[in-house]
Homo-oligomer: A and B are copies of this chain.
Amino acid sequence: MESAIDLIKFDKTDDGLIPAVVQDVNTSAILMVGFMNKAALEKTLSTGLVTFWTRSRQKLWTKGETSGNVLKFKKLRINCNEDSVVVLAEPVGATCHTGHPSCYYRELDDAQADWLTISTPEFDPATVYPK
């Protein structure tokens, strides 16, 4: 059976991955960007937990499987070229492994000389991720 997500062009790159931007459905903050193949997207839709393909570990990875800080799937949006997605999600706890609410917690200063930290960690990574 043809499904709506068949519209997405996973075959534009050799590795079958598309960028997936996770946006907080309540605050509109951009929490993280990961990559998805079709299996990752299907798992996201069927489980309700945002799941990526990790390029470094070469496997499916449900965000929060170690920390418990999952991303609850809410909505999926597709771009004009059908080669990337925005995932609207509700985060449980801080998204970033550093403890920051978003992975984008550093901003270039106006002199373009240094990165400023723009948020405060909500947990100590050492207590959340066992060595």
Contacts and interface: CB of A to CB of B under 8 A. Distances in A.
Interface residues of A, number: 39
Given A21-B30, A30-B23, A115-B7, A80 B96 contact: yes
A69 interface: no
Given A19-B19, A78-B107, 16 more contacts: A3-B112, A3-B113, A4-B109, A4-B114, A5-B112, A19-B33, A21-B33, A45-B112, A76-B108, A77-B107, A78-B104, A79-B104, A80-B97, A80-B103, A81-B103, A86-B104
Contacts of A113: 3-4
Contact of A98 (B29, B80, B118): B80
Interface in A7-46: 7, 19, 21, 23, 28-30, 32-33, 45
Interface in A26-83: 28-30, 32-33, 45, 75-81
B115 A33 contact: no
A123 interface: no
Contacts of A100: 80
A107 B33 contact: no
Interface of A: 3-5, 7, 19, 21, 23, 28-30, 32-33, 45, 75-81, 84-86, 96-98, 100, 103-109, 112-115, 118
